[in-house]
Amino acid sequence: MSVHCILAILILVLTLDDQVYSGKIIGGHEAVPHSRPYMVLLERNMPDGKKKYCGGFLLNEDFVMTAAHCHAKSYVVLLGAHNVNSNSEIQRIFVEQAFPHKQFNATSFVNDVMLLKLRTKAKFNENVTAIPLASHDSGTLPKSCILSGWGRTDKNNNYMSPKLMETTVTLIDNKECTMENFYCSQGDTGPAEGDSGGPLVCEDGKAFGVVSSAVTHSAGPDIYRYSKIPDSRNWIFSTIGNAMIKM
């Protein structure tokens, strides 16, 4: 089977199936409640009427970032959640407009980033704040990176975890990843179904990447890929600026 065929299969499991299941953080543990106030659970309303989910993160009062392959007919973002069953602490905001990266490649998943403009402003509080973006790529891999998401806690349990989970990953030096503007990790810990679109948070608590896709090789463990935010900064800020001018 070709790498692209395997990639296509894996990308299907990075998003949710037809039921209300969410992603799992492999090898993860429960996050300290509201310690990741930028985290977003993205409810995706699909053309067939079903709901699926992705991750995301808050950039400011008006915009959320996620993965371009998390496209849908319409969206609702859930902010301020730790336990998704506790409705009293969650802000639910409809998305007014989606801006997938114009150079997103649906085959290779290069430029797998998307901005979502909220219909109404997010209300910032101790449980809802934005995350700063990494400013540049110095050529050295960031260290101490963390992934967060809601979902199953083991391979035998498909149901969504009601509480936010997180895990630490170590980035690897991989030529193919570098050429396609990805950060990559490998091993027993990483993202899976429904975690697409969440942030790769590294040094100084900044978002360095967006959870994108995975590639598997018969000779080794899966490689998890994260779209590099520093490479998309110009597009991010020009898109936000243009959208705000049109308001």
The beta strand positions in the chain, using DSSP E, are 25-26, 29-30, 39-45, 51-58, 63-66, 74-79, 91-100, 114-118, 145-150, 164-169, 182-186, 190-191, 199-201, 207-217, 220-228
Q: Give the percent of the chain with pLDDT over 90.
A: 61
Annotated catalytic residue, options 69, 101, 212, 232: 69
User: Average pLDDT, stretch 83-105?
Assistant: 91
- Tens digit of pLDDT for each residue in 102-122? 999 999 999 999 999 999 999
CB atoms within 10 A of CB 216: 15
pLDDT at position 140 is 85
* Span 202-213, average pLDDT: 94
pLDDT of residue 126: 94
Q: Give the residue extent of every domain in the chain.
A: 38-130+231-245
**187 vs 202, residue with greater confidence:** 202
Contact 110, 7 (CB under 8 A): no
Question: Is the CB of residue 171 less than 8 Å from the CB of residue 244?
Answer: no
Mean pLDDT of 217-222: 77
Catalytic residue check, 196? yes
Cβ proximity of 9 and 17 under 8 Å: no
Q: For residue range 7-63, list pLDDT tens digits in order.
A: 433 444 454 333 333 334 666 788 888 999 999 999 999 999 999 889 999 999 999
Give the model's confidence band at 222: pLDDT under 50 very low, under 70 low, under 90 confident, else very high. Answer: confident
Residue-level pLDDT at 155: 53
Q: How many angstroms separate the CA atoms of 5 and 162, rounded?
A: 32
pLDDT of residue 214: 87
Tell me if residue 204 is catalytic: no
Assigned superfamily of 38-130+231-245: Trypsin-like serine proteases (2.40.10.10)
pLDDT at 44: 95
Higher pLDDT, 19 or 222: 222
Burial class (CB in 10 A: 0-12, 13-18, 19+), 90: middle
Q: Indicate which residue of 62, 82, 112, 148 is catalytic.
A: 112
Per-residue confidence (pLDDT) for residue 239, from 0 to 100: 96
Q: What is the mean pLDDT of residues 85-108?
A: 92
pLDDT digits (tens, 9 = 90+) for 149-181: 876 555 555 666 788 989 999 999 999 999 999
- Does the active-site annotation cover 34? no
d(CA 162, CA 50): 20
Q: Percent of the chain, pLDDT > 70?
A: 85
Residue 227 vs residue 155, higher pLDDT: 227
Strands 220-228 and 51-58: what pairing? unpaired
Pick the catalytic residue from 22, 148, 161, 196. Answer: 196
> In whole numbers, what is the pLDDT of the chain averaged over residues?
85
Q: Is 68 helix (H, G, I), strand (E, B) or coil?
A: helix
